[in-house]
Structure 1
Amino acid sequence: MTDIHNDKILILDFGSQYTQLIARRIRELGVYCEIWAYDNPISAIRDFAPKGLILSGGPSTVTEEHTPRPPKEVFDLGIPVLGICYGLQCMAAMLGGEVSTSDKREFGHAEVDVCEANSLIVETRQSVWMSHGDKVTELPEGFTVIGKSNNAPLCAIADESRRFYGVQFHPEVTHSEFGEQILSRFVHQICDCGRDWSASNIIQDCIESARAQVGDDHVILGLSGGVDSSVVAALLHEAIGDQLTCIFVDNGLLRKNEGDQVMETFAENMGVRVIRVDAEDRFLSELAGVNDPEAKRKIIGRVFVEIFEEESKKIDNAKWLAQGTIYPDVIESAASKTGKAQVIKSHHNVGGLPEGMELKLLEPLRELFKDEVRRIGLELGLPAKMIHRHPFPGPGLGVRILGEVKKEYADVLREADAIFMAELYATGWYEKTSQAFAVFLPVKSVGVVGDNRSYDYVIALRAVQTVDFMTATWAPIPYDILANISSRIINEVRGISRVTYDISGKPPATIEWE
């Protein structure tokens, strides 16, 4: 079996908003890494056998009692350590240095001057991104100052003999001018890691792991047409062929022609065994009269699971349920002091397994970030348009129709959304936005169509730009493009008399309307 985890980095997380970004940057450098909570036992860290350790930033202050600390034995492992922001302060304090609250905090850009030759930072002067209120005021024994800024004279330190390094700034963010080079020197030169974490190696490793787990058993997968489940389907088809059956539940709340596109991609072009279940009437019947968004979500999830369970019982020798769980799901949903750990999330992508469904979980993507999932999807031959499509909520159009869900509303929304997407693609704005969609408002507005007065529904358009989806700004789509989109929707979609554009940011608004 291929082993691409020989060279690996471990990140101990102290709750920084940038921790996942550190991991992504390192993996982009071709090195496998994982994020663990800072309080994992030293025995587990030894068993993981990393070639280097990174202590992340975090919101705590070292100057207070009972703040987060890693096991003190991590500094006796004989491997390189890089402390970032809080990680630097924590390392300095634990090794005998002193940290104090700074009179002048640094948030944002700062200039760092390198003042001593070292293995980590070679650029003489660089612009970096700071975010701290504390600073190291006395070095631990064996350390020297290698970089300073106006407000943090000890903002980069090193003990070359033990290969311990610390930086007060954040090299993982794009605002830090030479951040990538710093991380590369740490993992490649100081930790001596190779570049084995690549799309082709990941695919081979996932394929061989899946074959070893499954053996001769059959696997079922709930195929939604989303990026994660699509990549799982392609990967498992490559690994186990006819031992995979995908169940595609068409709930009547998909985008225009989406069901046909899913079947064309997987069943017709790739030869994947896909069972398509037309369940529009069943979903709409269950949703009749329901206005509350959370109630709609629960109904859609419950009905999906019921149908999935009914269909899966028809498949002989089905022992495994495949899911598109990805690494952020793993590290964001565990119980620990930072909310991070190596525990799989309790909910399931199919909406929650019934107690009577005795299937083992198969999660071939659980070590991958979203951008890595996309890369291997392209490598497996999935269409770029599918791989790079915007996020689509699990309940589908059910939460983009405000209030009660009706077939009439869904049909209108599908047409309007299709026009919106077509124009964004045609003008290059689809790639410039992170998520875009149309929303159906169940209110009527007076309009004029030709010589006649109309009284029809309203469509709202939403398009945002974001890096992490935690915050977002509305996309500044040019007026002429919006005018053309509005004109097409009103002229081509019967039942719409008015189109609006949502210019709310997140916060205070959410990205989805429900």
Structure 2
Amino acid sequence: MKIGELIIVLDFGSQYSNIIVRRIRHLGVHTILCSHNISIYNILSKKPKGIILSGGPFSVYNNNAPLIYKNILELNIPILGICYGMQLISFLFGGKIESSKNKEYGKSYLKIIDEKNPLFLGIPKKSIIVWMSHSDETKEISEEFKVIGKTTSCSIAAFCHKKKNIYALQFHPEVSHTEFGMLIIKNFILKICKCNANFKLKNIIKKSIDNITKIVSKKKVILGISGGLDSFVAASLIYKAIGDSLHCIFVNNGLLLEEEEKSIDKICSIVKFPINIINAKNQFLSKLTGIIDPEKKRKIIGEEFIKIFEKESKKIKNVEFLAQGTIYSDVIESSKDSSKLSVNPIKSHHNVGGLPKTINLKLLEPLKKFFKDEVIEIGYILGLPKYLLYKHPFPGPGISIRIIGEINEKKISILRKAENILFQELNNYKLYTKLNQAFIILLPIKSVGIMGDKRSYEYTAILRSINTKDFMTATFSNLSYEFLEKVSNRIINEVDGINRMLYDISSKPPSTIEWE
């Protein structure tokens, strides 16, 4: 890696900060995420070719708002401010920020005013879809700047310095749903910052394997297989490093779909490393009896996993590490580290948050800094089958978080049957590989219906289907009415317990992908 081929992203608490890093790494440019309060001395010592100020959940006028020294903007290094980063640049140059009358969350349309601006080079349209997430907006900018883009609700949605390489965007170019967002980032990194693309994922994999070998040495690792892509990629990476010193365990918690149970058997016959399957259905279901709160569900399931791992690890001599398939979106959504400026966690993940003191094992998370699309690419490089690489994600807590409210065996049976029908029709319509994730949610709401000329009073279910690249942002899938009607009719006619179907058309943000 050549000295100077580096971009620094200053973190102001946005859950998208690491997506910015991911996007730039995808271009082949080395990128690191640093705290917003990094000193100028540290910045200069790293010799970056560009600096990006991330978004964040703050207002520049708040007493606790994270700020930077204005002289960082005077280092003669190209700078790009995004969302809060834009407002911060405007504020430091004497601009005016106000609370928006019309807050923007999700899709908006940017009208490009300066088509020849280097940030927008190659964009063939004057109006593009952009992804917004802000309640404040820049109302006035210094005379040193000029406006280069606006939306219907935001008169200053993009601006640049008239003489310096300082640019600012109210929208998020890093999220996959911003049209030409990657081109905007590419223009900044390669054309404005003049970086060379020499950062390769294959090299990162090799380095990860070498690090695991060095860290683990001759010790043993126990890893919990969830059935999804992340844990299998983590296991494959660790197996490459330490071979048979890896011991994998799959715990059947009774919260799986029939398809998930079948896929475990199929995958076990493909991968080289052995997997010990443990049936713990009764243990999990008894602990979840009467539990309604989704966070309690997640924590109970996480605790039971840990108990089982602790029990199994004692059966294997010389175990020193517990490995997990944690990926970066899990870490971001669970984060509550105030030093990183994050606000309340969106939701906890069963494999995030460290280990309890009762377990005397070290945590090994080789995918902790990777996003879902990177994990898929790593799996491909490691030679995992396409069936596994493009398998729809299934949450660690299973269908416990797709049954809203209390869980019991009857509800589990209803949801399993409904999802079986959904997947049958996804395959019949050749839609499975075109969607990133599709599933059914069972609500604790009953409604009156008519079945066979008789009154029914059964549950309401929701079909959720999304398209995404990184699972940090997502849009609902534009499924045909024909498909939705077919799935709805089959579920209502064939599944006892459901008499009403709905389709979820919300995006992430403001919603999450899973309901709990």
The two structures have a TM-score, normalised by structure 2, of 0.78
Question: Structure 1 residue 7 and structure 2 residue 8: aligned?
Answer: no
Question: Of 145, 153, 161, which residue of structure 2 is paired with 1:157?
Answer: 161
What is the one-letter code of the residue matched to 1:156?
C
What is the one-letter code of the residue matched to 2:500?
T
Q: 1:463 to 1:433 in 2, by over 3 A?
A: farther
Q: 1:424 to 1:175 in 2, by over 3 A?
A: closer
- 3-state SS in 1 of match to 2:301: helix
Partner of 1:133: 138
Structure 2: gaps (5+ residues) = none
Cα displacement (A) at 1:248:
0.8
- 3-state SS in 2 of match to 1:282: helix
Structure 1: gaps (5+ residues) = none
* Range that drifts further, 402-411 or 221-230: 402-411
Partner of 1:87: 85
What is the one-letter code of the residue matched to 2:225?
L
Superposed, 1:237-316 pairs within 5 Å as: 237-265=239-267, 267-288=268-289, 293-316=294-317
What is the one-letter code of the residue matched to 1:323?
Q
Question: Structure 1 residue 427 and structure 2 residue 423: aligned?
Answer: no
Q: Is the CA contact (8 Å cut-off) linking 2:438 and 2:466 kept in structure 1?
A: no
Cα displacement (A) at 1:30:
2.1
Q: 1:126 to 1:35 in 2, by over 3 A?
A: farther
Question: Structure 1 residue 324 and structure 2 residue 325: aligned?
Answer: yes
Question: Of 188, 195, 198, which residue of structure 2 is paired with 1:196?
Answer: 198
Q: Is the CA contact (8 Å cut-off) linking 2:441 and 2:461 kept in structure 1?
A: yes
Question: Structure 1 residue 70 and structure 2 residue 68: aligned?
Answer: yes
Inter-partner Cα distance in structure 2 for 1:324 and 1:46: 35
Cα displacement (A) at 1:134:
3.1
- 3-state SS in 2 of match to 1:361: strand
- 3-state SS in 2 of match to 1:252: coil
Number of corresponding residues? 494
Q: 1:422 to 1:314 in 2, by over 3 A?
A: same
- 3-state SS in 2 of match to 1:234: helix
Inter-partner Cα distance in structure 1 for 2:275 and 2:143: 64
Cα displacement (A) at 1:223:
0.9
Q: Is the CA contact (8 Å cut-off) linking 1:326 and 1:365 kept in structure 2?
A: yes
Q: 1:186 to 1:348 in 2, by over 3 A?
A: same
Q: Is the CA contact (8 Å cut-off) linking 2:14 and 2:57 kept in structure 1?
A: yes
What is the one-letter code of the residue matched to 2:327?
I
Cα displacement (A) at 1:172:
3.9
Superposed, 1:82-481 pairs within 5 Å as: 82-84=80-82, 86-88=84-86, 90-91=88-89, 94=92, 97-101=93-97, 108-114=108-114, 122=121, 126-127=126-127, 132-139=137-144, 147=148, 151=155, 155-157=159-161, 159=163, 164-170=165-171, 171-172=173-174, 179-265=181-267, 267-288=268-289, 293-331=294-332, 333-336=335-338, 339-340=341-342, 349=351, 353-401=355-403, 404-431=406-433, 433-440=435-442, 458=459, 460-465=461-466, 477-481=479-483
CA deviations on 1:361-401 (whole Å, 9 max, x unpaired) are: 22211221222112212332333343334443332123334
Question: Structure 1 residue 502 and structure 2 residue 506: aligned?
Answer: no
What is the one-letter code of the residue matched to 1:137?
S
Q: 1:470 to 1:379 in 2, by over 3 A?
A: closer
Q: Is the CA contact (8 Å cut-off) linking 1:445 and 1:497 kept in structure 2?
A: no
Q: Is the CA contact (8 Å cut-off) linking 1:187 and 1:193 kept in structure 2?
A: yes
- 3-state SS in 2 of match to 1:353: coil
Q: 1:227 to 1:196 in 2, by over 3 A?
A: farther
Q: 1:154 to 1:28 in 2, by over 3 A?
A: closer
Q: Is the CA contact (8 Å cut-off) linking 1:54 and 1:83 kept in structure 2?
A: yes
Inter-partner Cα distance in structure 2 for 1:368 and 1:441: 33
Q: 1:513 to 1:179 in 2, by over 3 A?
A: closer
Q: Is the CA contact (8 Å cut-off) linking 1:12 and 1:36 kept in structure 2?
A: yes
What is the one-letter code of the residue matched to 1:12?
L
Q: Which has the larger radius of gyration?
A: 1
Inter-partner Cα distance in structure 2 for 1:279 and 1:60: 44
CA deviations on 1:309-333 (whole Å, 9 max, x unpaired) are: 1011112221112122223444551
Q: 1:439 to 1:369 in 2, by over 3 A?
A: closer
Inter-partner Cα distance in structure 2 for 1:66 and 1:353: 31
